[in-house]
Copies of this chain bind each other. A is one copy, B any other.
Amino acid sequence: MSKALERREKLRESLILAAERSIAARGLAGLKTRELAREIGCANGAVYNLVEDMDELILRVGSRTLERLDAALTDAESKGATSPGETLVRIAIAYCDFAADNLELWRALFEHRMTPGKPIPDWAVDQQMDLFRHIYRPLATLFPKRPAAELGVTARSLFSAVHGMVALGLEQKLIAVPIEALRNEITSIVRAMIDGLALAARQGSAN
């Protein structure tokens, strides 16, 4: 790599880290190109030599958040009882804890909307989709006869349901609950969903 390319790469990394700190502190709405440029010591316009646009910058920060989330879910998956139902409960709780500990960065994952007409790049979609494996695997163990596409739908539904509980539970609105109470709620609802799905599967195969 040439010296100039190397310097550009370093500056690009500094930019992404500066954006990450800014989002963590003030949320997506507080992100200002001018401040980031000053922080990493380059001209305002030079920011767009480092990333294509704000969308790319936010997606790069999101990618770092997803990497850490992935590590947290991997950790939860491997620890504790190996029953697939309890594994799913641990994954849900780990998701809740990650969101609580990384509130603004986690919110940014869902609040960010691409510039109208611009699709999310494939690398970002792939990274997000890849995270579903944490839910898919225990579900496949629980329901070995269910086709892959159907398991994919169930994984998505489970994720969305837990995400809803976490999102509204952590909002400073009327549904805000203490984190310990939220963990308990998630545990009983995930257990109920798994038990209910297992019951429906047994009844389905009995008919």
Contact assessment for B161 and A165 in the assembled complex, using a CB-CB cutoff below 8 Å: yes
Contact assessment for A193 and B185 in the assembled complex, using a CB-CB cutoff below 8 Å: no
Of A7-15, A46-54, A166-174, which binds chain B? A166-174
Asked whether A197 is an interface residue with its Cβ less than 8 Å from the other chain, the reply is yes
Contact assessment for A192 and B193 in the assembled complex, using a CB-CB cutoff below 8 Å: yes
Asked whether A58 is an interface residue with its Cβ less than 8 Å from the other chain, the reply is no
Smallest beta-carbon distance A179→chain B, Å: 14
Asked whether A162 is an interface residue with its Cβ less than 8 Å from the other chain, the reply is yes
For window 169-194 of A, CB contacts with B under 8 Å fall at 169, 171, 173-175, 177, 181, 185-186, 188-189, 191-194
Give me 13 A-to-B residue pairs in the complex whose CB atoms sit less than 8 angstroms apart, sorted by A's number.
A120-B173, A129-B174, A153-B181, A156-B175, A156-B185, A157-B189, A160-B169, A160-B175, A161-B162, A164-B165, A195-B199, A195-B200, A199-B199
